[in-house]
């Protein structure tokens, strides 16, 4: 679900990205999530790369990632 939401964000906000660049950015995001940085919970996600464990919804997690890690 997060992968699709992030990909939709890129399509909607950065439609000028090539498909290759978009896929690369989605893969990097997915790797970040799956590398133990995020735990899925019933109604959201816990992010663990900050000093504290922070609870996010899917949208707020993507917004956090964009603010902290996105290079666009």
The 10s digit of each residue's pLDDT in 18-71 is 999 999 999 999 999 999 889 998 889 998 876 778 899 999 999 999 998 876
CA distance 15 to 39: 29
Residues 30 and 3 sit within 8 Å (Cβ to Cβ): yes
CA distance 36 to 10: 23
CA 51 to chain centre: 18
Q: Is 33 exposed, middle or buried (0-12, 13-18, 19+ CB in 10 A)?
A: buried
DSSP SS3 for 56: strand
pLDDT band at 16 (very low <50, low <70, confident <90, very high): very high
């Amino acid at each position: 679900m997060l992968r699709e939401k992030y990909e939709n964000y890129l399509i909607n906000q950065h439609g000028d990205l090539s498909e290759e660049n978009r896929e690369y950015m989605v893969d990097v995001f997915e790797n970040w999530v799956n590398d133990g940085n995020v735990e899925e919970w019933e109604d959201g996600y816990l992010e663990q790369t900050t000093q504290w464990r922070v609870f996010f919804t899917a949208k707020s997690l993507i917004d956090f990632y964009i603010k902290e890690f996105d290079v666009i």
